[in-house]
Each structure stands twice: as C-alpha cells, then as structure tokens.
Structure 1
Amino acid sequence: MNINYDVIIVADVIRLEEKRLLEEAQNAGLRVLLLNLSSKGFRIGEERLAPYALIRSISMYRSLYSASFLEASGYRAINSSLSILLAGDKALSLPLFFKSGIPIPPTYLALSPETAIGYMTSRRKPLIDKPPIGSWGRLVSIIDSDITAKIVVEHREEIPSPQMKAHLIQDYVQINGEDIRCFVVRGDVVACMKRKAPPGEWRTNVAIGAQTEPFTPTDTVTEISVKAVETIKADYGSVDIGVDKITGEHYLFEVNGVPEFKGLEKTTKANIAKAIIDVVKR
C-alpha cells in the first residue's frame, strides 16, 4: 500500500475553514492533500492515499457519500458517515438526544400535510416548523396562526423532496432572539459564543446577519454540548443551545457534523482548526 499523505481534506468549495485546516495541518508537519469533489470521485476499495480523511463538503449528502466510500477503502473519516448522517437529519438525531437524556424542545413528527396542519391548528402558538434536513435557518418557520400553518405546509408540499414534506413541529422556546453555539472536539468544549438575531429577525444564524460575542460556557452548557456530540459518535461538531428566558431551562436545538467555524474563531480567537487537526495527530 502506497500511503503518501497523513491526511486528505475532502471538499467542494474551498472556504476559509478548509484553508485554515490546510494551514494548521502544514504547521503540524503533516503531509496533507486537498481533494476537490468538483473534479474527483471515488471508487470503492481504491488504494488509500492517507490514513485519515477530513470530510468538509458544504453538502450534507456529498459529505455523507464521500465518507461512506472512503471508509470502505480503509480511511478513518472525520467525521464518520454515521455521524454525518445523524447530525444531518434531525428526524434521526432528535430521538437519540431524547433517549440520551439531553433536553430538547417537545417535538412532533408529521409525515402528511393533513397531519401537520391538524397538529399545528390544535396547538397553542407560536410553534416552530422545520424540515429534518437543512442548514443556515432555511425553511425554518415560526407558526403564529392557523393561516400561517396552512401556507407553510402548502409551500413545502410543492418542493420535490420527500424530506421537505416531513415536518418537525416544536414548541417555541422563549429565547428572545439569543442562543449559544459551542464547538466540541473529542469531548472538550474549545469555543463558545452567544448569537443575537438581527433586527426584525427571530433566527440566530450568522449567515443571515446575527451578531456574536464570546461566551463562557456554564456547566450545563458544557454537559449538553459534550453529550450531544458523543451521542452521534462524532469526533467534533458544533452545538446550538437555547435558554428559555422564562423558565431558565436549557434546550439542545441541533448538532452540525460538518460545521463552519470561521465566525466562531473570529469571535472567540480560539484555534478551532488546530483542535480538529490535533485529532489526526493523536
């Protein structure tokens, strides 16, 4: 077997995160190869180029399929295909979090438009409706009336994807436009920040303009973050947590298995890229 590299980085769009990972791998003296999925495919069982593969596609399915094929060829994928699948599909991860004792918002799964509308019109509002798959807050809707419920469901029915026709309907958590994002690597919380929704917006995604500030994690935030990443058996991941301003209860919203981190590095000055590369060095 002709292994010429210590790690390959698999990506399709070379963002700042991938450049930072490449930089830190080189700083660590690792032999690293960047593979672009736009021009490179994989054959099951092909000869390995390295022991490790960092999976960094912006597409959940490209990441999942790449990790699966590379694992079949003997690579240690970071994160693994199983972790990427669980993190990427909330209908799979939320039940696991619940079974692990991690607090999540009360969640109802509706697999038909009639069931979704029937549930939402019978419940106290506001509610949150989201598809199982998605990022950057896309297609996450706040349901504040029966009319809104019907409009959202009808719109989602027109999207030609079975995942988009599934509805995860959650009780609204009164976070007042603020939540916490933490980054966990191998059981350690390496960085946390608070995110504040921009004016006129209730979502806290940085991609839509949320403001950020460093946050020192409490014991509760640390426990939820570490346990969530461990539950999906990931080497690393970003964790989103909301604190109900009325009850003080903490709720896990989601875990990302191929997370961006440039905003978190900029806000906290933590070297997240190095922490990820250190997984390869261990």
Structure 2
Amino acid sequence: MPNFAALVSGTGWHVADLLRAAAAVDVSLHVLAFGDVEASVGIGPGRVSACDVGLDGVDGVLVRMMPPGSLEQVVFRMDALHRLTAVGVPVWNPPRSVEAAVDKYLTLSLLERRGLPVPATWTGQTATSALEAFDALGGDVVVKPLFGSEGRGLMRVGHRELAWRCFHALERTGSVIYLQRWIRHPGHDLRLFVLGGRVLGAIRRTARDGEWRTNVAIGGRAEAWTPDAEAARLAVAATEAVGAVFAGVDLIEDLDAGTRVLIEVNAVPGWRALSAATGVDVAAALLDALREAAR
C-alpha cells in the first residue's frame, strides 16, 4: 500500500475529505502539520521529518496548505520541500510551483511570458508611483494583497482621493502595492480544476447581490460548468506555466474587450465547492494520480 503524507496547516473539511478518499483508493495517508517540520544535515543520513515521521521515506507528499508564518519559517518550509524533491520524493505541488503561484505578480509574469491573456496590472512600493499607475489604468482599479486567497483583502478603488489614502496606508505598512485594472464582467467568473494536464472539473461562481467578488468563501454561488475548448486550453497552459501538476485556475470575461483573461492560478486549491457542484471526487483523483506518479 502506498504511503503518503499531507502537509497541512490544520484540520478541516479538506483534511477529512483526503482521509476519506485515502481509504477509498487504498493508500495510507499521514496528516502532518507544516509547523512541525524539521530537518537534519550532517547527522546520520540527514532527513526531513514532521511529528517524528520521516518524510524522506514516504512514497509521496501532498502540499495541502501553507500556513502563515515569519519569513524564516516560510523559507525553511520551502527548503524542506526542495530537500524532499532532491531525494526523489514526489511532492505535489512541486515547491517551485507553490512559490510561483502564491505570488500574484510572479504568477502573472509567468503567464504573460507564455503569451497568455492577463489583466493590465501594476506592482510597486511607493504611493506616488501607485497614483500614477492608478491614472494610467483608467482611474478604476482593484487593490489586492500580493499574497492572499479566497477574495479576502481585495478592494475596488475608483476615486483618486480614496486611492491616495489607500496607497499611502499601504506604503506606511511596508506593503507591496498591487493594482489591477477593473474588469467589467458579467457578475461571475470561472474556476477550472486542472490535474495532470487535463481539466478535472469546472464551476461558474456568481457573486451574491451587492458584491462584485465571486469567491464562494465570501458568499458566491457555485454551479457546475462545462468548459469549452478555449477555456480548457487556457487553464492547462496556465497550470503548466507555473510548473504545477494540479491547480485551480480562475478565468473572467472582460465585457469591454470581449475576451477572457486569467486572474489567478492557485497551486494549493480548495475543491469543496467544485466537488459539491459537479460530483467530482477531487481528493480521490489527486491521491490516485499521486500513486501513479510514485510508481
């Protein structure tokens, strides 16, 4: 029986779903907290472990969630994942893809390099430059945290005085200022779950009344959606651009341009809403694919 480990930041629905799926597909799954990861160098053979379980000897590692931490903690956790890949342990997603996808600026730069459609975006560190970018982007932008998920921390800014206040507040806290041109969309976006070079399932997420953010975590409604060939192509290409094996890829329709653009690639995506809407057993598919990769 294959022996896998899931690195997590806590227990919850996704952990329970992975444990359920592990029993269904006949694999052994250890759930390990990222905060308990430790490693040795120059002591015996050297290993990466967590909760007294050596990870060098497992057949595969699934990165479920990277918890918040100090810069040193996050860097060390990524170092540990790189160590595992160096000794031949399949790590999903690979650490390079996790590093790329967690950073919105780096993600979009990788997508643009592949010639994929992305929204007009500016990133910088000073309020003065941000105000110039605000004007250049049409005076209507979405301000996003560079690191963030589930639509939290996003703010639409369409007034210059508010932009001045917002950008100066971000500068004073030492934050990177990340601005994206506001895209007039039909009130919904598309989330496609890619695994192993194909779309496993997809949903359309519709914002609740009075809200422009479509994320299910903040009240959006999800329904099953069958992707067309172009949407599937974009999702698979975006996943490959960040080097991920699986990803949640977000597309939105730009009504003014009449095209779709890629908004985000999530290398540690949730699948609760997608599974509920589509009936796809994402957890079982992930573990089954990881077992094939570990053979």
Q: Residue type of the partner of 1:57?
A: M
Superposed displacement of residue 67, structure 1: 2.4
Q: 2:159 aligns with which of 145, 149, 168?
A: 145
Identity of aligned residues (%): 27
Count of residue correspondences: 275
Q: Residue type of the partner of 2:216?
A: V
Matches of 2:230 and 2:259 in 1, distance apart? 10
Superposed displacement of residue 31, structure 1: 2.3
Q: Determine the structure 1 residue equivalent to 2:216.
A: 206
Q: 1:178 aligns with which of 188, 212, 218?
A: 188
- Of 67-76 and 139-148, more deviation after overlay is shown by 67-76
Q: Determine the structure 1 residue equivalent to 2:112.
A: 98
Q: Residue type of the partner of 2:264?
A: E
String of CA shifts for 1:1-28, please: whole Å, max 9, x gaps: xxx9521111121221122122222222
Matches of 2:147 and 2:9 in 1, distance apart? 19
Matches of 2:34 and 2:145 in 1, distance apart? 26
Q: Determine the structure 1 residue equivalent to 2:23.
A: 26
Q: Determine the structure 2 residue equivalent to 1:6.
A: 3
Matches of 2:59 and 2:40 in 1, distance apart? 16
CA 1:65–1:23: 2 relative to 1, 3 Å: farther
Matches of 2:90 and 2:215 in 1, distance apart? 31
String of CA shifts for 1:223-272, please: whole Å, max 9, x gaps: 11000001111110100100123432000000001111111111111111
String of CA shifts for 1:120-168, please: whole Å, max 9, x gaps: 14542321222321112222221201012112212323435xxxx2222
After TM superposition, the structure 1 = structure 2 runs for residues 15-94 of structure 1, keeping only pairs within 5 Å, are 15-43=12-40, 45-46=46-47, 48-59=56-67, 61=74, 64=78, 66-94=80-108
Secondary structure of the structure 2 residue equivalent to 1:183: strand
The 8 Å contact of residues 24 and 284 in structure 2, kept in 1 or not, is answered as: no
The 8 Å contact of residues 126 and 171 in structure 2, kept in 1 or not, is answered as: no
CA 1:198–1:42: 2 relative to 1, 3 Å: farther
Matches of 1:198 and 1:233 in 2, distance apart? 33
Which runs of no fewer than 5 residues in structure 2 stay unpaired?
48-53, 69-73
Which runs of no fewer than 5 residues in structure 1 stay unpaired?
none
Secondary structure of the structure 1 residue equivalent to 2:108: helix
